[in-house]
Structure 1
Amino acid sequence: MKKKVAKFSVLPVVGASIFFYSFSTNKAQDINTALLEEFKTVNEELTFEVPYSPDAAVFDPQLRSYPALGKSYVAFKEALGFKESGGDYKVINEFGYMGKYQFGRGTLKLIGIRDTNLFLNSPDLQEAAFYANASRNKWILRKDIERFEDQVVNGIKITESGILAAAHLAGPGNVKKFLRSNGTNSFSDGFGTSIKHYFKKFEGFDTSFVVPDRKAKANSPSVI
């Protein structure tokens, strides 16, 4: 009898275990299902779409934009300064010409500048010197400008800006010689740059801003 009792007493335990295990498994599945549904609900609430926006142009650091200067006086002097020195205010070439516009000491004295150290360290003074020199040259060459402007001399169209650029390179005296010899009496500087090149390269700029003045001086405290 003990054997039977023992045998039958095990069955309820096993049955209870199976029932408990089945109940626990079902409950766990229900919990997992509930959590999954809750996650889906929350996830749906958090889901959103980014509004469409048109493609924007990508900035290219290699591309640079500069103000359009056209043929203005500023364009004229900047082009001339770049040709003379690459726009370097402090450069001195092998012949002793100084600054952005490559002035010699003699020309600087004519427009009232004797302190070359101050000149080299003052961009404002160099810009004032350029204008003063152009103003003085325009007065010296006023008759030649009136006579030769828009004429063709030795195959070169003559303009006021070309005359002033050539005078900056060669001095007003050599410009007179070139024009009045019908282009046969030319000039080249120490680097071989021809006055003809300046007539051509700088033609057609608006230099009406420059007022002719025989006594033009650079406006600076160091001017004597």
Structure 2
Amino acid sequence: MKSRHVFLVGLPLVLIFWSFSNNHLKLDTSSLYTSATAVNKEFYDATAFVGPVLNSTYFDVRYYSLAITPPDSFLTFREALAFKESQGKFWKVNSLGYMGKYQFGMSTLETLGVTDSLRFLRSPRLQERVFIKNLRYNHEILEPYILKYAGKKVGGVYITESGILAAAHLSGPGGVKRFFKTKGRKSNRDAYGSSVKTYMKRFAGYDMSEVIEP
């Protein structure tokens, strides 16, 4: 009888505790999205560093920002391209000497104002700035092609602004121009077999408006 009494008294306490836990430990995704959006806006300063530096050596609230970022956003584009280039590793140098998260060659870096390769590898923020600078440089050169071909099919590929810019990152603006001038018949490849056409397909449909100046 005593054990039954203890059970009857204890049961409501268990239910109260469960109810409290269930209601108070839920993740408020709406507030998380709002705060993450605020973080993104803070970092999306087009004149400086764009986006949070994501590094596998630490974990903080900025990872939530990436996790809930819309799949067609610039941040998603940036990290997808970085993963393809280097698995997102800032310190990576490949067998041909291309460096960093986005695998820049030294000649391109010098064009963009970087002369110290060691400083470049040691600075994630510098790498992100250089990536944006190169993206805008390619956009300026290729804007006539973006305006002419975006939304159309060329060589069996649906053309988008982000696809063109990703392809330009791979082969430079010249490789993209060659693709369009040959109507998609000639698609430059890098030393590892990646082609302009592949990059146009793989990185199509991202929204670049947050970083490309009007």
> Contact 1:139 / 1:212 at 8 angstroms: preserved in 2?
no
Identity between Structure 1 and Structure 2 (%): 43
In structure 2, runs of 5+ residues without a counterpart are 23-62
Q: 1:211 to 1:68 in 2, by over 3 A?
A: closer
In structure 1, runs of 5+ residues without a counterpart are 1-39, 57-63, 214-224
Tell me which amino acid in the other structure corresponds to 1:144: Y
Larger-gyration structure (1/2): 1
TM-score for the superposition, normalised by structure 2: 0.71
Instruction: State how many pairs are aligned.
Output: 167
Tell me which amino acid in the other structure corresponds to 1:99: G
Say which SS state the counterpart of residue 10 (structure 2) adopts.
coil
Q: Any residues of structure 2 matched to 1:1-224 within 5 Å, and which?
A: 48-51=9-12, 52=15, 53=18, 66-211=67-212
Q: In the aligned structure 1, how far is the partner of 2:191 from the partner of 2:176?
A: 17
Query: RMSD across aligned C-alpha pairs, in angstroms?
Result: 2.8
> Contact 2:189 / 2:195 at 8 angstroms: preserved in 1?
yes
Say which SS state the counterpart of residue 75 (structure 1) adopts.
helix
TM-score for the superposition, normalised by structure 1: 0.68
Tell me which amino acid in the other structure corresponds to 2:88: G
Q: In the aligned structure 2, how far is the partner of 1:93 from the partner of 1:167?
A: 19
Say which SS state the counterpart of residue 141 (structure 1) adopts.
helix
Q: In the aligned structure 1, how far is the partner of 2:163 from the partner of 2:187?
A: 14
- Quote how far apart the aligned CAs of 1:96 are: 0.3
The structure whose RCO (Cα within 8 Å, separation 6+) is larger is: 1
CA shift digits 1:158-204 (9 cap, x unpaired)? 10000000000011001001012101121110001111110000000
Q: Which stretches of structure 1, 4 residues or more, deviate above 6 A after TM superposition?
A: none
Q: In the aligned structure 1, how far is the partner of 2:148 from the partner of 2:168?
A: 16
